[in-house]
Copies of this chain bind each other. A is one copy, B any other.
Amino acid sequence: MAFLANPRYRGGLAGSQAAAVVLGAADADAAPMPVLVARDPYASFARIAALFEHAPERPAGIHPSAVVAEGARIDPSAHVGAQAVVESGASLGARSIVGPGCVIGPGCVVGEDCELVARVTLVARVRLGDRVRIHPGAVLGAAGFGLAMEDGRWINVPQLGGVVVGEDCEIGANTTIDRGALGDTVIGEDVRLDNQIQIGHNVHIGAHTAMAGCSAVAGSARIGRYCLVGGGAGILGHLEICDRVTITAMSLVTRSISTPGEYSSGLPLQDNRSWRRNAARFKRLDDMARTLDRVAKDTDDT
């Protein structure tokens, strides 16, 4: 079972060992095997593949090894797994799953049909909408990096806000989302965060935005809707990015962006010897530009 969404790979159909292929009508003739014609082959493939997915059994109820505080509210249809901890005042909605080893801190709210796969930590003042899925090792609601220097020593700025996660979000393994300093850190609905992403305090991420692994957003930045952030990209704090902006992998956003489109920084890969020569010249690029200005002026004058 395979799919063809990118016409670039059309030539591979003939040699494919797939028993059936999901593809668009225009590609149906190129396939020697049975085909399923779909308007959007990748999305249709996703729906078919879901039929083959075996989720682990997570029956309603609280595992005997779990520790649930007296004040916690657990819907009877929810699952609390082995070795999990649910602290006082926390609540867990219908059919939600708290997998093995998770810690749900005091007062945290989990919506309906959520899945915290395993070893997820909600620290404090975290509120999850419905159908949120969080992968192992993720930490939401930790105290962010708020520091003031006084007489040569750091003092902590208390982080009194929370984290609000909208419906249908997905949060990757070992990703961290700090709670707000005064207001909340806000993740809009249907936001998709890959693994090992860092979201600073008071960041707002607009609905349907997707960020790839190891990207990071510093405190109080606001990211629009339908943005795509490449792997390892960084976004500095206190700036604003409008809707439908794409940032390519490992770029650093150092200023606000008010025009949709694709943005980049960074340099192309080269063999180390060529790179060394070019990089050394970069350190004198301003001098080069001044010399060039002078020479161009001289040449134009003659």
Listed in ascending order, the chain A residues whose CB lies under 8 Å from chain B are 1-2, 40, 42-43, 45-47, 49-50, 52-53, 56-57, 63, 65, 67, 81-85, 87-88, 99-101, 103, 105-106, 117-119, 121, 123-124, 135-137, 139, 142-143, 145-150, 152-158, 160, 168, 170, 172-174, 176, 178, 182, 190, 192, 194-196, 198, 200, 208, 210, 212-214, 216, 218, 231-232, 234, 236, 246, 248-255, 259, 261-272, 274-286, 288-289, 291-292, 294-296, 298-299, 302
Contact = CB atoms under 8 A, between A and B. Distances in A.
A148 B39 CA distance: 13
B136 A123 contact: yes
B136 A136 contact: no
Given A103-B118, A142-B172, A267-B267, 9 more contacts: A56-B105, A87-B100, A119-B119, A121-B136, A121-B137, A153-B190, A174-B176, A194-B198, A268-B279
Nearest to A89: B56
A173 B139 contact: yes
Contacts of A168: 153-154
Contacts of A232: 216, 232, 234, 252
B295 A268 contact: no
Q: What are the 7 tightest A-B residue pairs by CB atom distance, in nearest-first order? A: A262-B272, A277-B286, A67-B82, A264-B275, A46-B157, A139-B173, A43-B150
Contacts of A63: 67
A85 B87 contact: no
Q: How many copies does the complex hold?
A: 3
A154 B190 contact: yes
Given A198-B195, A236-B249, A101 B117 contact: no
A80 to B, nearest CB: 12
A300 to B, nearest CB: 8
Nearest to A68: B82
B249 A268 contact: no
